[in-house]
Chain A
Amino acid sequence: MKSIIELNGISKRFRLGMLGARSLREEVENWCGRLRSGQQATAPGARDFWALRDISFAVEHGEVLGIIGSNGAGKSTLLKILSRITEPTHGEALIRGRVASLLEVGTGFHPELSGRENIFLNGAILGMNRREIRTKLDEIIDFAEIEQFLDTPVKRYSSGMYVRLAFAVAAHLEPEILIIDEVLAVGDAAFQKKCLTRMGDVAKGGRTVLFVSHNTSAIVNLCSRCVLIEKGKLTADGEPSEIINSYLSRDLSGEPVLEFQEKGGEAFFNRVTLARDDRTPSANFDFDESAILLLDFTLRRNIPGMDVSFSISDTTGERLFRSTSVMSDPPVIVENGGTHSLSARIPRSVLLPGRYFITITLHRPNFEIFDRHERAITFEVTNKGFEYYSYSPRQVGRFHADVRWTSNNTLQMRI
Chain B
Amino acid sequence: MAPLSDYEFAIRPNRSWVRVDWRGLWDYRDLLLLLVRRDFVSRYKQTVLGPAWFVLQPVLMTLTFTVVFGKVARIPTDGVPPVLFYLCGLLGWTYFSQNFQSTSTALVSNAALFKKVYFPRLVVPLAAVTSNLMAFGIQFTTFLAVYAFYSRFTPDGGRFGMEWTALMLPLIVLQIALFSLGVGLWLSALSAKYRDFQHLSVFLVQVWMYATPVIYPLSNVPEQWRWVSILNPMTVPVELLKQVLLGTGSCEPAHIAVSIAGTLLTVVSGLLVFQRVERTFADIA
Contact = CB atoms under 8 A, between A and B. Distances in A.
Do the two chains bind?
yes
Given A21-B195, A121-B34, A85 B114 contact: yes
A23 B4 contact: no
A247 to B, nearest CB: 26
Interface in B115-143: 115-119
A83 B9 CA distance: 12
A130 B279 CA distance: 27
Contacts of A90: 13
B34 A93 contact: no
Nearest to B119: A125
Interface in B1-60: 1-2, 4-5, 7-14, 28, 30-31, 33-35, 37-38, 41-42, 45-46
A93 B11 contact: yes
A125 B113 contact: yes
Given A103-B116, A113-B42, A125-B31, A21 B284 contact: yes
Interface size class of chain B, counting residues whose CB lies under 8 Å from the partner chain: 35 or more
Contacts of B45: 112, 153
B206 interface: no
Interface in A1-26: 4, 14, 18-25
B283 interface: yes
B12 A92 contact: yes
A129 interface: yes
B282 interface: yes
B195 to A, nearest CB: 6
A237 B4 CA distance: 26
B224 interface: no
A99 B30 CA distance: 17
A80 B282 contact: yes
A82 B34 CA distance: 26
Interface string B88-122: 00000000000000000000000011111111000
Nearest to A153: B45
A172 interface: no
A104 B117 CA distance: 8
A107 interface: yes
B193 interface: yes
Contacts of B196: 23-25
A21 B13 contact: no
Given A18-B284, A85-B114, A96-B7, A121 B38 contact: yes
A332 B195 CA distance: 48
B49 to A, nearest CB: 16
A95 interface: yes
A94 B8 CA distance: 7
A96 B5 contact: yes
A87 B28 contact: no
A101 B1 contact: no
Given A27-B194, A113-B41, A117-B38, A87 B279 contact: yes
Contacts of B116: 85, 103-104, 107
Contacts of B46: 112
Contacts of A19: 283-284
A90 B11 CA distance: 10
A160 interface: no
A84 B1 contact: no
Interface string B161-198: 00000000000000000000000000000001111110
Contacts of A127: 28, 119
Contact of B282 (A86, A113, A174): A86
Interface string A91-118: 1111111110101100110101100010
B280 interface: yes
25 contacts: A21-B192, A21-B195, A22-B194, A24-B196, A27-B193, A85-B117, A90-B13, A92-B12, A93-B10, A95-B10, A95-B11, A107-B112, A107-B113, A107-B117, A108-B117, A110-B38, A117-B38, A124-B28, A124-B30, A124-B31, A127-B28, A130-B33, A130-B34, A174-B1, A176-B7
Interface of B: 1-2, 4-5, 7-14, 28, 30-31, 33-35, 37-38, 41-42, 45-46, 112-119, 192-197, 279-280, 282-285
Top 3 nearest A-B pairs (CB, nearest first) are A92-B12, A124-B31, A84-B118
